[in-house]
Amino acid sequence: MAAAKNNRTLLLFAVVLAVLATTGSSARRRWDLRLPSELPLIDEAAPLIHMLRPREAASGSHHLGLRARVPCDSWRFAVETNSVRDWDTVPEQCERYVGNYMMGGHYRADSRAVVDEAVAYAESLNLTGAGKEVWVFDVDETTLSNLPYYAKHGFGEKLMPANFSSTQKIRAEPYNSTAFGAYAKEANAPALPESLRLYKRLQALGIKPVILTGRREDKREATASNLARAGYTGYLKLIVKPQHVRVRSLEFKSGERKKLEDAGYIIVGNIGDQWTDILGAPEGARTFKLPDPMYYVG
């Protein structure tokens, strides 16, 4: 009975969130929250709110029109395991689900599971590389969280992430590219707290962080100052994409990891939210995939 009561409380809470989300003055749905320097976690230990009302998504719909419907949770499984690719929007029916996932503690819990493992792995290493051991970090949704941006702009609309490859077919609205670019230049994104914890622990262990992002050269300065502001200092280097080179994320990132190895560094770990951060030799001795059901980078 305690569980049922708890469920009712959560259901009520979900309704309050929904009301908050629809009563803004703008015609567009938005999460009216202020998130200065921390992720907006309501209660980290809370059960998963969205599970009380499973939503469904049309699966395979980006290929061949509306097909069988699957639960949003299963859509997320297929996305996070790199089976569903090249999607440019969260399925419409799952916008609220993804919002709840991101804001309700589930996202944070999933990130924690990944980082707990990464920390345990790093602590188990016997470092013999005379200070040449490095750990590669992505930026967006890895070191930095753009949750404040997406909370404001919606979790389901067409997105144009900053590290969108120029060789990809662009179906997203240019407006959002501009908006995200402006947001990135503000250099005010908070740290993803779990990643910052890993970062600090690695430094204490003598493993040097390398920041490797698909953000381009014109955002180097803003990215560097945002990283510093969020607590990421003392990294070995910040590698950004050249401004006008047409290269896909996977090729760019694996190429840069290869350069690190050629320079004598040992990549003991690699963490990112996209599979293009992780796939492509050399991957690093271990890889860690953070959750990101908000957008896809090809």
Q: Does 161 bind a copy of itself (CB under 8 A)?
A: no
**What is the rounded distance in angstroms from the CA atom of residue 218 to the CA atom of residue 15?**
42
What are the beta bridge partners of residue 241? 216
DSSP H/E element including 51: none
DSSP SS3 for 278: helix
What are the beta bridge partners of residue 56? 71
3-32: which residues touch a copy of itself (CB under 8 A)? 3-4, 7-8, 11
Residues 6+ apart with CB under 8 A from 216: 162, 240, 241, 242, 243
Q: Does 168 bind a copy of itself (CB under 8 A)?
A: no
Q: How far apart are the first and last CA of the chain?
A: 46
Candidates 24, 54, 234, 255; binder of a copy of itself (CB under 8 A) is: 54
Cβ proximity to a copy of itself, 203 vs 287, nearer residue:
287
Question: Per-residue string for binding with a copy of itself, 93-132, x by CB under 8 A?
Answer: -------------x--xx-xxx-xxxxxx-xx--------
Candidates 129, 258, 287, 298; binder of a copy of itself (CB under 8 A) is: 287
76-95: which residues touch a copy of itself (CB under 8 A)? 77-78, 80-85
Token pair recorded at residue 92: 């419409």
Residue whose structure tokens are 């690695």: 202
Applying CB under 8 A, the residues found at the interface with a copy of itself are: 3-4, 7-8, 11, 47-48, 51-54, 59-60, 63-64, 67-68, 70-71, 73-75, 77-78, 80-85, 106, 109-110, 112-114, 116-121, 123-124, 279, 281, 286-289, 291
